[in-house]
Chains A and B, each alone.
Chain A
Amino acid sequence: MDFLSIILDILLSAAFWTAVLRIATPYVLGTLGELVCERAGVLNLGIEGIMTLGAMAGWMAVYQGADLWTGVLAAAACGALLGLLHAALTVPLGLSQHVTGIGVTLLGTSLSYFVYRLVLPQASTPPTIEPFQPLALPGALAQTPLTYLAFLLVAVVAYVLYRTPVGLAVRMVGENPAAAEAQGLNVTAIRIGAVMAGSALMALAGAFLTLSAFNAFFFNMVNGRGWICIALVVFASWRPGKALLGALLFAVFDALQLRLQQASGGILPYQLFLMMPYLLSILALVLVARRASYPRALMIPYRKGER
């Protein structure tokens, strides 16, 4: 069989598209979360750590006996808390968003590992929980509820950003905080709120991994997904609809590399296939960098009366 017919076979199978939607889910949620933060003018490099904490907290809540949706809420709450930390340091104090974000990632990751090890000191094989089950729908529609929630949230975020006063305020503090202030808006409060909401979404992305995609928590399980989300936000030029498209496109490539990896039968080293998502993200950044229209006030701290 030649290469093209292999690809065609893959693209025509329902199982492939089921996988695409599943793979896309954490990217959709993470990208959406980062987008909300950046639209308010705050780069959130804490995403990788927030996703890890979301994955751990959601799983741990369920492992301790809570039901799955409580686990989801626990993850979101933990995410919002780390978001509050990031916002407190970068918004009123105006500290470097780069370095603070890395600090939040280090903290979120290490705290997750610390708590996990504390509760389960000698777990050689990770204990499991009963995860979300796919809905009984035909074909690629057989997804877990969190995937449907993710797609629904794209519409919600798009509606809030473009059709409500809250969304206008968020976009305004990200573009021109001085003008927002002159309109009587509280720039600090809006930015903090946006970062908390965005971080809660990132934590949901993490919780999807432990409560839907898998049924256990592993170290390094987020594995750079957060950083890819940051690239996807740029690729999507800060628009929720395009973010969804970007995440789906990315998932198509990722699912394709997984299947080509199996189809290649070990002729090529599997690491080459695993590199593809990261290289693809870098390529996407290069392609859009020139015409990227950043939120004007992204990464610029705002202090009242200071220019």
Chain B
Amino acid sequence: MRLEPRTDTPLALRLLAPVGAVVAALALCALLVAWTGAPVLRAYGLLFEGAVGSRFALTETLTRATPLILTGLAAAVAFRAKLWNIGAEGQLYMGALAAVVVGGGMLDLPAWALIPLVMIAGTAAGGVTLLGPAVLKVRFGVDEVVTTLLLNFVVLLLVSLLLEGALKDPMGMGWPQSAPVVEAAELPKLVARTRLHAGLAIALGLSVLLWLVDTRTIWGYENRAVGANPRAAAFAGMPVTRVMLRTALLSGGLAGLAGAAEVCGLKGYLTLDLSPGFGYSGIVVAMLAQLHPIGVVGAALFIAGIFVGADAMSRAMPVPNYIADVLVATSLLCMLVAGLLARYRLRRG
């Protein structure tokens, strides 16, 4: 048996790959659910119901998908250029930090001016955070995987420092949390009496925009060329270093925006548990989407549904909600294999 590359992958196969991966992951995790002694079909039924079974469930899933679309896009654009940004978690917190600083009342502006300003500040903070590792990569040849991973811990400590110090809410009853952003910085709700906020519209708009940039502009062409083969791109006269730094700003910016949108759309203030690993889940989202900006939306909805549904399911039966994290990790590994099967065919001999 050996693997032989396909000359081109039909669209049907590209669409089938993530579906197959998800089915395989659900089947594998069914073994784990069965091990807990819970009835598997009922568990998955409750998970599905908890994710999309009611108006409330559906808006919760969409709310949860919002940061995942943005961190998924962050991973997708970076991985396309072979910039291994594993630091979206830290960039997200830097964006959130910028949001509570800029939106915390130091600017007395109307909402139409303040909201864009806060979002831009969050984006800039995230972008600059990834620029550091990117510069170290292109200037000194330092592997960005390790630096971005390590920076996640540094950023969390910085947030903790500020939440116990300069940014601490005087009305926070001693909890390490920031003062809430002013009302003019809050993102409007999309559906009344739910938590769903305008961050979703921003995230959806950005995925369409990134898809257009990717397919219709020289920028996108350069990004793809550098990602496919940096040496060939350099030979063709493309500014490889500039493309790398540009990609870093964009990728980090998207993750930073995710943090700013979570603060201004959902939480209102910053705590150390703003993100339950959105940065890391974003990698899974990007891989399930095969790094396609539109695909990211679908993948983020799926992952969000798993998390929201698993919470509901684990309230009804003795299956720990960490099953969601196991499902997400298994989906990633299954997707890698499925992607391989879509790109190659098995040949005997």
Chain A residues packing against B (C-beta within 8 Å): 45, 85, 89, 93, 95-96, 98-100, 102-104, 106-107, 109-111, 113-114, 117-118, 121, 223-224, 227-228, 230-231, 234, 269, 271-272, 274-275, 278-279, 281-282, 285-286, 289-290, 292, 303-304
Contacts and interface: CB of A to CB of B under 8 A. Distances in A.
Interface centre among B328, B333, B337 (most CB of A within 10 A): B333
Given A102-B283, A106-B325, A114-B326, A93 B84 contact: no
Contact of A103 (B142, B153, B329): B329
Interface centre among B36, B150, B164 (most CB of A within 10 A): B150
B151 A118 contact: no
Chain A at the B interface: SS class:
helix
A231 B150 contact: yes
Contacts, number: 130
Given A106-B329, A106-B332, A121-B318, A99 B287 contact: yes
A281 B152 CA distance: 13
A106 B140 contact: no
Given A106-B328, A113-B325, A290 B336 contact: no
B232 interface: no
A206 B87 CA distance: 23
A121 to B, nearest CB: 7
Interface centre among B84, B143, B337, B340 (most CB of A within 10 A): B143
B149 to A, nearest CB: 4
A113 B277 CA distance: 14
Interface of B: 2-3, 32, 36, 79, 84, 86, 136, 140-143, 145-147, 149-154, 157-158, 160-161, 164-165, 280, 283-284, 287, 318-320, 322-323, 325-326, 328-330, 332-333, 336-337, 340
B140 A289 contact: yes
Interface centre among A99, A121, A269 (most CB of B within 10 A): A99
A304 B2 CA distance: 9
A85 B332 CA distance: 13
Given A269-B161, A285-B147, A286-B136, A100 B336 contact: yes
B326 A110 contact: yes
Contact of B154 (A228, A279, A292): A279
Contacts of A269: 161, 164-165
B145 A45 contact: yes
B283 A89 contact: no
A98 B147 CA distance: 14
A114 B32 CA distance: 9
12 contacts: A102-B332, A110-B325, A110-B326, A111-B329, A118-B320, A224-B153, A271-B157, A275-B154, A286-B136, A289-B136, A290-B140, A292-B141
Contact of A113 (B3, B140, B322): B322
A133 to B, nearest CB: 31
B348 to A, nearest CB: 15
Given A89-B333, A106-B325, A269-B164, 20 more contacts: A98-B145, A99-B287, A99-B332, A102-B280, A106-B280, A109-B325, A113-B320, A113-B325, A118-B319, A231-B150, A269-B165, A274-B157, A275-B154, A278-B153, A279-B150, A281-B146, A282-B151, A285-B146, A285-B147, A290-B141
Given A118-B320, A274-B157, A103 B146 contact: no
Contact of A95 (B2, B323, B337): B337
B283 A278 contact: no
Nearest to B323: A114
Contact of B146 (A231, A290, A304): A231
Contacts of A290: 140-141
B142 A286 contact: yes
Contacts of B323: 114
A285 B144 CA distance: 10
Interface centre among A106, A223, A281 (most CB of B within 10 A): A106
Nearest to B334: A103
Contact of A282 (B2, B147, B161): B147
